[in-house]
Amino acid sequence: MTQPIELDKIRNVVNEVVEGTPIFDIHTHLYAPGFDRLLLWGVDEMLTYHYLLAEFFRTTPMSYDQFWAMDRPAQADAVWKQLFIERSPLSEACRGVLTVLAEFGLDVSTRDLTSFRRHFAQQSLEKHVETVFAHAHIRSLIMTNDPFDDQERPIWEGGWKPDAQFQSALRLDQLLNDWPEAAQKLAGWGYKINGDLGEGDRQAVRCFLRNWIERMQPRYLGVSLPPTFTYPDSSYCGQIIEHCLMPVAHDADLPVALMIGVRRGVNPAMRLAADAVGKADVTAVDHLCRAFPENRFLATMLSRENQHELCVSARKHPNLHVFGCWWFVNVPSIVEEITRERFELLGLTYTPQHSDARVLEQLIYKWSHTRTRIARVLSDKYTDLAHTGWPVTREDIGRDVEGLFGGNFEQFCRLPTM
Ligand code: FIX
Ligand code: ZN
C-alpha cells in the first residue's frame, strides 16, 4: 500500500484527482457532428438555452410571440441585454455561460457579445468538438436518441453508427407517455398495429424496440415520466412496460433509465422551457425493481423531495443504479446536499452526475461546476475517514473517482471498463 495522505493534504489531493479524471457523461442532449444541424453550439445557442429563457421571460415586456418571431442572434441579443447587462448574471445558468467564455480565454469583463461571437465564428466544428471535450475533460458521452423525432430518425435510417465518443441511448417518451399517437406512427412505419395494445400490438412494439436496438446499439433504453407515474398500473404505459419494455430490455441485456418527476408543458408558450417539476411516488421504482429482478434500472428524480427516498430504494435493490442531479436540482446548493446524502447512504455505488448539456460548450461549465461540488463533499468524507485512523491513499481516491465518473455506470451496464 502506498503512503496514506496527511490529513491537511487530503483536500488538495482530492481536488487534483477530481480535476484529472476524465468523465463518461451518461446523459446529454448533444449529437455527434454527423447529425448536422441537430448539434447545437456557439454563444447564441448558449444564450438561448431554455434554462436561460425561463429566466429571460421574467424580465421582459416582450410577448412570447414577438420573441419566437426573432432570429437566433436577435433572441440572444435580447437575453444578453436583460440577463447580463440590465442585472448581474448570477443564476446558475447565466454563470455557466461566463464560465465557458472565460475557459476559452475570452475577457468577460468587456461584456462585448460581438467579440465573443467572433471567437466562435472562427472555429471549425470537428476541431471545436475536440477542444470542448479536452476543456471539459470528457472521454465519452451518451446522446438522447429518439426514433419518433422526425429530424433524427432519417439519420439513423441512413446508417449512422455510434462511436466511442458519441454513444447512444434509445429514448422512448412517446411510446410510453402517448400510446395513441405512437400507435399511429408505428402503423405508418409498417408495424401491424390496431391500437388496442392486445397481443398483436405488443408483438409489434417488441419488434419495433428490437429493430431500434439493433440500429442504435444503445447503452440503455430511457424514458422521462410524470410525477403521477405509478407501477403496477393498467394504463397503456404500465402495459407497455410489463409486456414490451421489460422482456426486450432483459433479452438485450440493457438497463432501463427512469427519469421521473417532470410536468411537461406547464406554460406551453415557453416551448422547451415550459416544463416543471412534481414530487413523485418512489414506490413505483421499488415495485419495478422487485417485479423484474432480472432487469436493471437506472433512475434519477427531478424533485428535491424524492432524493432521500430514492437512495433508500437503491439500498433495497441491487438492480437499481441512481444517477445524476437532474435539471432543476442541478444547482450547486442542491447538488452538494444530494451528493452528500448519496455518499452517506450508498457509499460509492452510484453515478453522481450527468450534464444534460444541449449545447456543446455547456459540457465545460456543467462539469467544472459539478467537479467543484463533488470534490468538496468527497474531501469531507475522506477527512472523516482519515480521522478514524483509516489510511486514505491517492490510489484509493483515484479508483473511487474513476468509478464515480463513469466506471460504476460501465460496471452496472456490464460494459468493458476504461
Ligand atoms: O427529459 C429530459 O431528458 C430532460 O433533461 C429535458 O427534457 C430537459 O429539457 C432538459 O434539457 C433538462 O436539462
Ligand atoms: Zn435530459
pLDDT at 155 exceeding the cut of 80:
yes
Nearest CA to 64 among 211, 280, 271? 271
**How far is 369 from 332, CA to CA, in rounded Å?**
7
The predicted structure's pLDDT at residue 267: 98
Asked if residue 163 has pLDDT above 70, the reply is: yes
Residue closest by Cα to atom 2 of ligand 1: 224
Q: Whose CA is nearest to atom 5 of ligand 1?
A: 356
Tell which one of 53, 143, 262 to mutate to probe ligand 1, the residue whose CB is within 8 A of the most ligand atoms.
262
CA dist., res. 100 & res. 204, Å (int): 46
Whether the model clears a pTM of 0.95, i.e. scores above it, the answer is yes
Just give the CATH number of 7-413: 3.20.20.140
Distance 86 CA to ligand 2 centre (A): 30
pLDDT of residue 394: 98
Calculate what percentage of the chain has a pLDDT beyond 90.
99
Of 314, 303, 317, which Cα lies nearest the Cα of 228? 303
| Domain-wise residue ranges, the chain | 7-413
- Report residue 1's pLDDT band, with 50, 70 and 90 as the boundaries: confident
Q: How far is Cα 130 from Cα 128, in angstroms, rounded to an integer?
A: 5
pLDDT digits (tens, 9 = 90+) for 264-318: 999 999 999 999 999 999 999 999 999 999 999 999 999 999 999 999 999 999 9
- HEC profile of 144-184: CECCCCCCCHHHHHCCCCCCCCEECCEECHHHHHCHHHHHH
Bridge partner residues of 276 (DSSP) = 263
Percent of the chain with pLDDT over 70: 100
Residues 11-30: tens digit of each pLDDT: 999 999 999 999 999 999 99
Within 6 A (CB) of ligand 1 lie 29, 144, 224, 259, 272, 327, 356, 358
Q: For residues 323-343, b (16+ Cβ closer than 10 Å) or e, as one string?
A: bbbbbbbbbeebbbbbbbebb
pLDDT level of residue 358 (50, 70, 90 thresholds) = very high
Alpha-carbon dihedral sign for residues 335, 337, 343, 349: negative
Mean pLDDT of the region 58-77: 98
pLDDT number for residue 259: 99
Q: Which three cell numbers stand for residue 277?
A: 417539476
**Closest atom of ligand 1 relative to the 358 alpha carbon:** 11
Q: Is the pLDDT of residue 2 over 90?
A: no
